[in-house]
Structure 1
Amino acid sequence: MTAQAQMKFLTGSTMHHVLTMTATGAIGLIAVFVVDLLNLFYISRLGHKELAAAIGYSGTLLFFVTSIAIGISIAATALTSRALGRGDRHQAKQLAGASLILMVAIMVCLIVLTLPFLNQLIALLGAADETARLAVRFMYIVLPSSILLGLGMCLSALLRSVGDARRAMYVTLGAGAATAVLDPIFIFGFNLGIDGAAIATSLARVVMVVLGLHGVLKVHGLFAWPPLSVFKRELKPFMAIALPAVLTQIATPVGNAFVTQSIAQFGDSAVAGWAVIGRVIPVAFVVLFALSGSIGAILGQNYGAKRFDRLRSTMNDSMKITVIYVLVVWLLLALGRNLLADAFGAQGTAHELITFFCLFVAGSFLFNGILFVSNTAFNNLGFAFYSTALNWGRATLGVIPFVWLGAQWYGAKGALAGYGLGVVFFGVLAGVLCFRVLRQLEKQT
């Protein structure tokens, strides 16, 4: 593929680029969400509650590993797409190579540091007895394959940096399809239970890497072994993006943990309702998550080329998509709120919470969406600290006081309303800061 083709975001409609990248990203994310549900579904069919609980505890621990991989991938996209935007393909290839090597090195260090303490970490999460033993066993198989997960995520990010949304989607879809096929074979066919689920997950990550390598190496030739001088020069700017991005990713589960704790005081039915809402959110608002993960390459290339008109256009288009999408989804959720609650067999407080979320709280994702896309802009334009500060502000100041007061005044519904209201300020602030950053960069240039 020609160098000009790998700078595709510098020409053409920014709205077209945003829509194309987001659509393919959304398809890949939906595959991930569905496969995760299938994995848990297959395990639950074995009839032992300890198995499903073990998967849950393992997932919590693996989330932090995934967050680190996401942070490194964000840095890889930002730096590589900037180099492509400047027309420096040689540097882009070296940056891609350095990103992949750094990903492997960091994942290896993380695994080496984590494996000896798995028992203590699982116990710290609250697991005990047979559940803890199963969770540790699952982690011993899956954790080493985090190297493959990190590589696959980084390869997908590099494909997005050259604008190859289709092959970036194939990386995720391929892993999802492999898991969907291998899970029942290893869990039921080979009668391996939770060990089978762990093996299937690891093998699916092999598929992820193979597909990613084909796109990055064979199709785009986007790899060069970086000399030591490149490592020394690029490590600081790389980590300046990666570290805040990791911290940004970790903020969300911290806030959600407080919401869960606040709702738990109103009984198991309330927790069940919140659990359903937690599954509805990523599926209903998948486009917002895909949008924030897809526009980084568009911003990076145009920033590298100093096309500030296209940077503004990209952000304007992203904001328009966010508003229209959230309003449509909010309307659909409001109209189908009772059908949705009934589909999950929700009763009592659970039913009330689900319908309340669909009717009122879902609208707050308008501000979540603005926060998401603004954070992507900060990460790719050299202001990663803003995304970290805003996300942690949202997860603490935008959650704890609002949820606590809501729970005190109006019970479980009040806690849920507080969760929605708390994001309004941070969403507005993120949007204002985002366009201020664009004006500041243009003036400096």
Structure 2
Amino acid sequence: MEQEGTQPARPVERPRQARFTSGSTLRHVISMTATGSIGLIAIFIVDALNLFYISMLGVQELAAAIGFAGTLLFFTISVSIGFTIAASALVSRALGRGDRNEAARLGGASMVFMGAATSVLALAMWPFLDTLVGWMGAKGETARICADFLRIVIPSSPIMALGMCTTGILRGVGDARRAMYVTLSGGVAAAILDPLLIFGLDLGITGAAIATVLSRFIILAVGLHGAHVVHRLIRLPDLARLKAATRPFFGIGVPALLTQIATPVGNTYVTVRMAEFGDDAVAGWAIIGRIIPVAFGVIFALSGAVGPILGQNYGARLYGRLMETMRDSLVVTLVYCLAVWALLALFSNQVADLFGAHGEARELVIFFCLFAAGSFLFNGTLFVANAAFNNLGFPGYGTLFNWGRSTLGIIPFVWVGSTYYGAKGVVAGWALGAIVFGVASAVVCFWLVRRIARTAASGAEDNIPAPPPTANSPFSTGKAATLS
């Protein structure tokens, strides 16, 4: 790697206009969401195939071990997701200001922070895997298999995290297609390697672990090609610039991380209450948990798609387009959720048949399809609002609303529902809590966007809360090393 100051002088490049600062915001929202959805669906399918292959070995402990391992791996992925949001926000803001050099330095700093944080996490977890697996409730042979699986996979967590960081950089520049290729490449690799190693080489669950690690290296390779080779948006900063980037990166990344962790906390409480009504009820809730990401994967993708659009326009000080983007995102959420809800309600019996649900499990699945699925309109609204909070300088609001949804929006509602209406009351309580926090988050989000616009219109832009770094920030000047 070379220092910029030692390189021969180069012609000055004309600033390239950020992609999302012009054109239809609705088109940008739809395009980014569509490509993001494909990548997410690929991940869901591969996860299902992985569990399917393991179950074909006919050993119950193997499938259970994968389930426990997935729970623990979720927390390492949550760290990566939170910091990926931060990378996307910082890069998109810099591009919105027309400062591509700063965007590249922020991209490089994000990679450094991501690699360092996840390496520390992996090193901290690895010696205590047996203890952590035991805390999750795994016992005997299942616990041993789970810990062995994690000992292979956990050291590769930084590789996966860096690959995810490149997708944040690619979304920040507006290249949703290459961001999609990153996740698709990992999905395709895992789909090929899993059966080859599990059955072809007769490695069993060890083969599944090795396939996971290899697919992560492929994800990183494809991501680096897009973010660095194609867009040149990864430039490693020196120590001074790295220090200057610390506060804005972790100021977004840590609240976003905490936001991600909130969801499983709420779902754990729902599972505990559902267990009071027997195995059939728990099975029904488990099936609902599989329906949601498939049916509403587009909404999950939307929350990641809208962030860079807001970030670029915020950086470019095009505050009117912030309001347009929020409105368009909520329109997409409304139309999609109503359409999916209608389909689920129309084919509720067929959905229950697809999962082989019987007894109370079948009743819960049908109840979800007919009634509770409609609450995802408000969950989607919360997701979009969180993306706005993260990219407009208010990540703490996202943390507040998501934890509010996962505690106050679940615990009292589910408790009342389970007490008076049984297992269906649990599902109904889970759904009703989303309405309260979905509406509240939207109200606060639009209030903040209007506040930003009014402050800018009054000529007092310096007073806008939590503005992005300016061209005069310490981070935007000086030397930086180029990743080569």
Q: Is the structural similarity TM-score above 0.5?
A: yes
Residue type of the alignment partner of 1:410? Y
How far apart are residue 227 of structure 1 and its match?
A: 1.6
Please tell me whether residue 289 in structure 1 is matched to residue 296 in structure 2. no
Which protein is richer in helix relative to its size? 1
Structure 1: runs of 5 or more not aligned:
none
Please tell me whether residue 133 in structure 1 is matched to residue 144 in structure 2. yes
Please tell me whether residue 413 in structure 1 is matched to residue 413 in structure 2. no
Equivalent residues of 2:15, 2:100 under 8 A apart? no
Deviations 1:278-327 (A, max 9, x none): 00000000110000011111111000001011111110000000000000
Equivalent residues of 1:252, 1:395 under 8 A apart? yes
Q: Which residue of 2 aligns with 1:343?
A: 354
How far apart are residue 442 of structure 1 and its match?
A: 2.1
Q: Cα distance 1:102–1:338, how it changes in 2: closer, same or farther (>3 A)?
A: same
Which of 399, 409, 423 is the aligned partner of 1:388? Answer: 399
How far apart are residue 443 of structure 1 and its match?
A: 2.9
What aligned pairs does 1:54-203 form with structure 2 within 5 A after superposition?
A: 54-203=65-214
Please tell me whether residue 367 in structure 1 is matched to residue 378 in structure 2. yes
Residue type of the alignment partner of 1:384? P
SS at structure 2 position matched to 1:316 = helix
How far apart are residue 409 of structure 1 and its match?
A: 0.4
Q: Which residue of 2 aligns with 1:210?
A: 221
Structure 2: runs of 5 or more not aligned:
1-12, 456-460, 462-484
How far apart are residue 148 of structure 1 and its match?
A: 1.0
Deviations 1:170-215 (A, max 9, x none): 0000000000000000000000000000000100011101110110
How far apart are residue 441 of structure 1 and its match?
A: 1.6
Name the CA distance, whole Å, in 1 between partners of 2:331 and 2:401. Answer: 21
Name the CA distance, whole Å, in 2 between partners of 1:249 and 1:223. Answer: 25
Residue type of the alignment partner of 2:183? T
Equivalent residues of 2:409, 2:434 under 8 A apart? yes
Name the CA distance, whole Å, in 2 between partners of 1:240 and 1:214. Answer: 28
Deviations 1:236-256 (A, max 9, x none): 111110010000000000000
Equivalent residues of 1:85, 1:303 under 8 A apart? yes
Equivalent residues of 2:15, 2:99 under 8 A apart? no
Please tell me whether residue 266 in structure 1 is matched to residue 277 in structure 2. yes
Which of 53, 57, 61 is the aligned partner of 1:50? Answer: 61
Q: Cα distance 1:113–1:125, how it changes in 2: closer, same or farther (>3 A)?
A: same
TM-score by length of 1: 0.99
SS at structure 1 position matched to 2:290 = helix
Deviations 1:403-430 (A, max 9, x none): 0110010100011000000111100000
Equivalent residues of 1:175, 1:207 under 8 A apart? yes
Q: Which has the larger radius of gyration?
A: 2
Q: Which residue of 2 aligns with 1:223?
A: 234
Name the CA distance, whole Å, in 1 between partners of 2:113 and 2:17. Answer: 23
Equivalent residues of 1:18, 1:294 under 8 A apart? yes
SS at structure 2 position matched to 1:346 = coil
Name the CA distance, whole Å, in 1 between partners of 2:69 and 2:313. Answer: 40
Name the CA distance, whole Å, in 1 between partners of 2:81 and 2:139. Answer: 30
TM-score by length of 2: 0.91
What aligned pairs does 1:233-244 form with structure 2 within 5 A after superposition?
A: 233-244=244-255
- List structure 1 segments (4+ residues) > 4 angstroms apart after TM superposition: 2-6
Q: Which residue of 2 aligns with 1:250?
A: 261
Residue type of the alignment partner of 2:155? P
Equivalent residues of 1:3, 1:89 under 8 A apart? no
Residue type of the alignment partner of 2:256? A
Name the CA distance, whole Å, in 2 between partners of 1:159 and 1:28. Answer: 13
How far apart are residue 4 of structure 1 and its match?
A: 5.7
Amino-acid identity (%): 59
Q: Which residue of 1 aligns with 2:333?
A: 322
Name the CA distance, whole Å, in 2 between partners of 1:12 and 1:388. Answer: 31
Residue type of the alignment partner of 1:34? I
How far apart are residue 93 of structure 1 and its match?
A: 0.6
Q: How many residues align?
A: 444
SS at structure 2 position matched to 1:102 = helix
Name the CA distance, whole Å, in 1 between partners of 2:58 and 2:16. Answer: 52
Name the CA distance, whole Å, in 2 between partners of 1:185 and 1:33. Answer: 20
Deviations 1:110-140 (A, max 9, x none): 1111101101000000011100000000000
SS at structure 2 position matched to 1:198 = helix
How far apart are residue 224 of structure 1 and its match?
A: 1.3
Which of 221, 224, 232 is the aligned partner of 2:243? Answer: 232
SS at structure 2 position matched to 1:225 = strand
